[in-house]
Structure 1
């Protein structure tokens, strides 16, 4: 992944010995060997803009295109890549506390999710401090329940996988702290997982024929992302949101329409939209003049808000208490909003497919994942786009589209098999330890045609000392 990653706290771990360093370099080599002649063949290493460490180990780990360090299995008792693995996945990036245990053959042994639906309804969205407190209150129970349902103890595990970004920093910290406590106590390696990569790779758990390269559209409350997945840890970013994500637009619209937010805005809008006329409001499709694959929902939100004001809709009156005429107006707005919001997705996917096939003609699949991918209207519309372009649509089941521990555990398994993980942390790690979390963590290197000057995201960089290391490694491979 262009912002590749990252082992937890690489810069705070002791500097490696010479033999350990040489082993790590050897582990890096397979990632540097060109495999194809397209852009997917060799991504060009880059690292997270949040990295500031100058140590060799930190730079090396940041340079890889994986989500985790390239340190091979050096600890006694850790199964090798081909052995049967049992991985606990922990997810606390936003408003759900989730844990799951997954076997390396794809068997889901347990899945537990504690929702913060009541908090969402009370605050009309995610309140970071409240969300952190809610995670802290239930994290121990959720993890223990996941182990109990799998009929396992911590000693049976091969590794712990945990989301380290992107997400809300306060929330991410809760999951990382729990993961490191377990890993330290039971001498287990840790795999730091990119939340959006996990949404992408969970499709490989449910769709056994899904091989690289493939495309992915990741849509949720915080993200809109179109990527070309060239290989594990190697992604080309075709488009992303320049302001608000589609899920956030759904939530805001639902709130303004006085809908029940306990299930989040997406399901509420989709249900009400079935009663409305999708062409009653002529909302403009976002970014029609921009010939790229980026997304913007801020303008559509403004159009919706003005339409609501023009009909004198009072969000304080719940939809269940609205008059027949008022309910009809709300349904029309919901349907019109949904039509244009999804049309924006369709248009961007059309162009992204064209770009992806130029880069890698062998692409056959588009994965659609993330919370909004549970929306049946979204799926049906995108299925038409995909079929028209000769591709196949792959959508994980709705229970694996929203944030969950299964996707984190599976992504951990994929990277662990490649030897990409961090060694166990010390058992006596202090409570005030500074965890390496990545609230802002782009996935993949931007495709040149998709770059937008409007975006504030920093460009990936290559550390000067790393360039010579990579060139030396490539030279040795070629010789």
Structure 2
């Protein structure tokens, strides 16, 4: 208590945010140290500390009810459910919390033993990073209780791509309905949940805000912990929900409309970036090519291109493979997009005429371009993956799997070509089901469960949190630290205003603890 008196005096004299975090850690560890033998003095101490901090307006007032509940048990209103062992074979894990929205501070080591039955967790996942509004409820034993996705396909077709402001408005119109439908399909209410997980980045800021505000509203009103999720990590980790033998370390190729990423996943939250896109991602190239060819964008560009390409000759148009001169694992699709646009112009293809109304000769020309584009686009993936596998095996020879996920991973041509690459290197290809390759709430909920198990979560936000609260959104958020030997001479044009990577945040917090 003498330490508390001294600390309280220091806190009253300072507005530095570091004291907030120090106090948070001290408060949590005070409760952890006390365990079950809580004295009356310690019980009365929490409201006293909380009210003092609240008066200083440093951060929202902690909930005594939540803190006590987290220390005694975290079965969180699921006594009626029988515990089932997780497919990841995770034992009980210590829980801690921090009071900033940086969800990955103060991580705890694995395989410790608090009074937490993590196999009985039920988590709601919310995803609004781009153009899909998604929610799902997942149990920590791997059971998917519900999954709901509201697509903005009509908007995509109308605007020829994602219009951030329109996408935000569409999210706002359906988010309540999507979340409620996910709960209804799971036969649960908000109070039955153990936690809420939500994507906080990377993505479009306007869209991310809608999901985060909804998640915080639920967590605040029902006194639930909240887990901020990295969108690309969720794409990688959802494979562990279905492949029980997929343990760290493994490689992952994450391919979508906004990202191309090759990573070595050494552990949860510990990633090495082997390669990334320096301009446009493969999904962006697919979408633009589909638009220029007059295809139906309500299905997204990937499936439309894949279907039309079956009718064409993949060798008929000679597109060059990007970045042949750069011996690294980075990606570039901007140049290939330009080649495709020029080829379309040379064939006098009018994108205003939909493929369904094109003449047979016009359709044949479009099919040849689609097939040639797809061959070169995927060949670029193959070459980069081949080199990345060599780098990854040099770092960790125990790697057995390559996970391929993200929206483009639902393309069967992509899967078949990459499967040949991994077979040559005695690895195994792991792809989530196509419905979980595109953006979805299941991957967010599952990633939330994985981090929740090791204590990376936030306590409930205030129940009456103002709508104009400044949120920690991370629209440009790298997943891992760049592999030193793989740095490319090619310069990315997207370096400004990038948030520190998830891996660096976790490493920094681990160093703080040691």
TM-score, length-scaled by structure 1: 0.84
Residue of structure 2 in register with 1:31 after alignment? none
Aligned to 2:83: none
- 2:307 corresponding residue in structure 1: 271
User: Secondary structure of the equivalent of 1:247?
Assistant: helix
Q: Which residue of 1 aligns with 2:394?
A: 358
Paired residue for 1:443, among 479, 490, 496? 479
Residue 385 to residue 359, structure 1, CA distance change in 2 (3 Å): same
Provide the residue aligned with 1:114 in structure 2: 150
SS of the equivalent of 1:102 reads strand
The whole-number CA distance in structure 2 between the counterparts of 1:109 and 1:70 is: 30
C-alpha displacement of 1:431? 1.0
- Contact 1:259–1:268, Cα closer than 8 Å, also in 2: yes
Question: Equivalent residues in 2 for 1:193-342 (5 A)?
Answer: 193-342=229-378
CA distance, structure 2, for counterparts of residue 239 and residue 67 of structure 1: 25
Match of 1:19 among 26, 30, 37: 26
Secondary structure at the aligned position of 2:253 is classed as strand
Change (3 A) 1:79 1:105: farther
2:120 is the alignment partner of 1:84: yes
Alignment of 1:299-448 (within 5 A): 299-448=335-484
Tell me the distance in 2 between the aligned counterparts of 1:79 and 1:94. Answer: 38
Distance, in Å, in 2 between the alignment partners of 1:145 and 1:398 is: 22
Structure 2 distance, partners of 1:450, 1:180, is: 39
2:196 is the alignment partner of 1:189: no
Greater relative CO (CA pairs within 8 A, separation 6+): 1
| Structure 1 residue matching 2:344: 3-state secondary structure | helix
> Is the CA contact 1:67–1:233 (under 8 Å) kept in the aligned structure 2?
no
Cα distance change, pair 232–280 in 1 and its aligned pair in 2 (3 A): same
Q: Assess if the C-alpha contact under 8 Å between 1:191 and 1:421 holds in 2.
A: yes
Q: Tell me, in whole angstroms, the C-alpha distance in 1 between the residues paired with 2:118 and 2:139.
A: 12
Counterparts of 1:140 and 1:471, CA distance in 2 = 40
In 1, Cα distance between the equivalents of 2:356 and 2:508? 65
* Aligned partners of 2:478 and 2:499 also within 8 Å: no
How many pairs does the alignment contain?
423
Alignment check: 8 A CA contact 2:167 2:207 kept: yes
How big is the alpha-carbon RMSD for the aligned residues of Structure 1 and Structure 2?
2.8
Judge conservation of contact 2:479–2:501 (CA < 8 Å) in 1: no
Helix, strand or coil at the partner of 1:368: strand
Aligned 8 A contact 2:134 2:440 in 1: yes
Secondary structure of 1:422 counterpart: coil
Shift of 1:451: 1.8
Could you tell me which residue of structure 1 aligns to residue 185 of structure 2?
A: 149
Choose 1 or 2 for highest CA Rg: 2
Cα separation, 2, equivalents of 1:12 and 1:433: 20
CA spacing shift, 1:393–1:25, aligned 2, 3 Å: farther
**Unaligned regions of 5+ residues in structure 1, if any?**
1-9, 27-54, 73-77, 475-479
- Shift of the 320–472 alpha-carbon distance from structure 1 to 2, 3 Å rule, reads closer
Displacement of 1:468 in angstroms is: 10
**1:468, 1:264 → 2: CA distance?**
39
Out of 203, 210, 214, the position equivalent to 1:174 is 210
> Offset of 1:182 from its aligned partner?
0.3
Distance verdict in 2 for CA 1:164–1:24, change over 3 Å: farther
Is contact 1:249–1:297 with CA below 8 Å preserved after alignment? yes
CA distance in 2, matches of 1:122, 1:279: 32
Q: Deviations over 1:178-210 (max 9, x none)?
A: 000000000000000000000000000011110
Per the TM alignment, residue 68 of structure 1 is displaced from its structure 2 partner at its CA by: 2.4
**Structure-2-length-normalised TM-score:** 0.78
Residues of 2 paired with 1:418 and 1:382: CA distance? 33
CA contact (8 A) 1:228 1:238 kept: yes
- Rounded Cα–Cα distance in structure 2 between residues aligned with 1:385 and 1:304: 26
Query: How many angstroms does 1:160 deviate by?
Result: 0.1
Contact 1:68 1:193 in 2 (8 A): no
Contact 2:326–2:488 (Cα < 8 Å) also in 1 = no
Summarize the Cα distance change of 1:423–1:11 in structure 2 as closer, same or farther, 3 Å threshold: farther
| Structure 1 residue 333 displacement after superposition | 0.1
Partner of 2:78 in structure 1? none
Deviation at 1:171, TM superposition (A): 0.1
